[in-house]
Chain A
Amino acid sequence: MVVEPSLESIYTEIILDHARHPVGKGLREPFTAQVHHINPSCGDELVLRVTLGPGPDPVLQDISYEGAGCNISMASVSVLAELATGEPLSAFEAKHREFLRLMHGMGKVDPNEELLGDATAFAGVAQLPMRVKCALLGWMAVNDAVGQSLAAPVAEGEQS
């Protein structure tokens, strides 16, 4: 018989804490790109801005956001803001790859805790096919905003 993940292993203390006290919430200036991501099946909405610095491996100087969604989607973007803000893009990309591997692993993946930090708390969610998209909403949004920042050169005066 398949043992189901317990509610406590899905809604971990880390997830509930981040949902109650989100890190980096609010929309801030300046920013290099803003995206609006939605989850059409449940109505979750996320407006997210990134500020990408200059150079070949630019630093994610800020991730700011406003959103409405479930504990899992809102905790995930909060964990991500904490993990990736101030990191070079290459580090975000490594974490993103590892998070995708975890979330698409049906609960069978042993995540790299050094890379993912609090994001390992989503291991239980990875066992719920209906909720994986909730955990990925923020990551997809940052990835999209980073891509748009790289594609559109920063306007004069927007970067100090």
Chain B
Amino acid sequence: MTLDVAAVRAGFPILKRTVHEGKRLVYLDSAATSQKPHAVLDAERAFYETSNAAVHRGAHQLAAEATVAFEDARATVATFVGAQPEDLVFTRNATESINLVAYTYLNATLKAARGQALPDGAERFVLREGDEIVVTEMEHHANLIPWQELCAKTGAVLKWFGITDEGRLDLSGDVITERTRVVAFVHQSNILGTINDPAPLVARAREVGALVVLDACQSVPHQPLSLPELGADFVAWSGHKMLGPTGIGFLWARPGLLAAMPPFLTGGSMIALVTMEATTFAEPPQRFEAGVPMIAQTISAAAAADYLTAVGMHDVHEHEQQLTAYALAGLQAIPGVGIIGPRDMHSRGAAISFTVNDLHPHDVGEVLDRFGIAVRVGHHCAWPTCRRFGVPATTRASFYLYNDTDDVDALLEGIEQVQRFFRVG
């Protein structure tokens, strides 16, 4: 079975619009956010039109229906990633998911220092001066800055793996040591497209008793995954990059881990018993879902998971791999175009960063936009990765199930227009 892209495209209303005086929209920025199919838009509208109510409270029928739909959504999303619903926490975005884990360490450390009660097993989150947190030079700021901040607050030390010239993680050296408590890394780089095999890092983290945090924002939407098989302890991703709405993120934890964690955000919905003096906390996942959650967004994100399941994640992945191979070959055939990241299809996904002669990406993007081609320009919230390759920014094209070879051809032709306009190449 191969993907029927024309049929897929028909389900995405935004792809029918034109830009810049009638030009076909060539949307090559799905790594930033994906477009939304009717199925997702309809699910959100249907919820508001038929069942809107606050979940997990109230006794009326709407509240009951909303709560059932919300918890069904948890089961749907969990199933989509091969997980159990009780191990899945809803957040606002992947950034919040990673912050939730980082604050778990901070809160456990602060409470332990004051002799406060912690859940059984929480000592694994208590940091001591000189403990080490390991990241990579390939991280999105969302999986870097929370760890920098945690180190600044606790006296832990941040260390990182570098990147090879080919855009792969350089796993040489003793970055992970007996003092390492957290190993946090990206599954698929949003800027380089590199897919990192979690296995070697997971194995080394296990040897020293460190927990593994995986940023899967760019992998969950694009390949079939069973999270428990990746070996990580925490996996974070977002809804809006997998055809869902903005405002919904996910954190999966290895079974049993959530129960050992003190809460992150506190307030309504996350409690067991409250008095004026003290509070006990709900069981997970509710312990980590303070306040009225993103109900409509969660339900429509589940519709996105259903949509992707119906299309078939194997077919989505296969289609993207073919498009990426086609684009990589085409880009490398244009004199003056350089790829930043893996140049072949070995362990790489559908995000391609490139340079055009010595042109600044903003100038490249401005001209491409005039031809209807939407790419991302800038440092992609991975500024240290740009610095590693000696560029202030890159131009990035990223593909999803609704892109076709016409889109890639438009990009290649657009780059030649850019070169002509600026008289380079």
Give the number of chain B interface residues (Cβ < 8 Å): 19
Identify which of residues 342-372 in chain B touch chain A, using a CB-to-CB cut-off of 8 Å.
359-363, 366-367, 370
A68 touches B421 (CB 8 A): no
Is B378 at the interface (CB under 8 A from chain A)? yes
Is B82 at the interface (CB under 8 A from chain A)? no
Closest B residue, CB atoms, query A71 = B363
Closest A residue, CB atoms, query B21 = A4
**Contacts of B361 on A, CB cut-off 8 Å?**
42, 70
Give the number of chain A interface residues (Cβ < 8 Å): 19
Known: A42-B379, A43-B393, A69-B360. 14 other contacts (CB 8 A): A4-B20, A11-B422, A16-B422, A41-B378, A42-B378, A42-B393, A44-B392, A45-B392, A68-B360, A68-B392, A70-B360, A71-B359, A74-B360, A131-B366
A17, B422: Cα distance in complex, Å: 11
A74, B20: Cα distance in complex, Å: 26
What are 28 inter-chain pairs, A to B, with CB distance below 8 A? Answer: A7-B366, A7-B367, A7-B370, A7-B421, A11-B421, A11-B422, A41-B378, A42-B362, A42-B393, A43-B378, A43-B383, A43-B386, A43-B392, A43-B393, A68-B392, A70-B360, A70-B362, A70-B363, A71-B359, A71-B360, A71-B363, A71-B422, A72-B362, A74-B360, A128-B366, A131-B362, A131-B366, A134-B362
Is B377 at the interface (CB under 8 A from chain A)? yes
A42, B394: Cα distance in complex, Å: 9
B177 to nearest A CB, angstroms?
A: 33
**Contacts of A128 on B, CB cut-off 8 Å?**
366
**Contacts of B421 on A, CB cut-off 8 Å?**
7, 11
A interface residues (Cβ-Cβ under 8 A, vs B): 4, 7, 10-11, 16, 41-45, 68-72, 74, 128, 131, 134
A44, B361: Cα distance in complex, Å: 11
Q: How many A-B residue pairs have CB under 8 A?
A: 47
B391 to nearest A CB, angstroms?
A: 9
A68, B367: Cα distance in complex, Å: 19
Closest A residue, CB atoms, query B394 = A43
A23 to nearest B CB, angstroms?
A: 18
List the 10 closest pairs (A to B, CB-CB), nearest first. Answer: A70-B362, A70-B360, A43-B379, A43-B392, A43-B393, A68-B392, A42-B378, A71-B363, A70-B363, A42-B362
A43, B191: Cα distance in complex, Å: 14
**Contacts of A68 on B, CB cut-off 8 Å?**
360, 392
Which of A41, A43, A68, A134 has the most chain B CB atoms inside 10 A of its CB?
A43
A44 to nearest B CB, angstroms?
A: 7
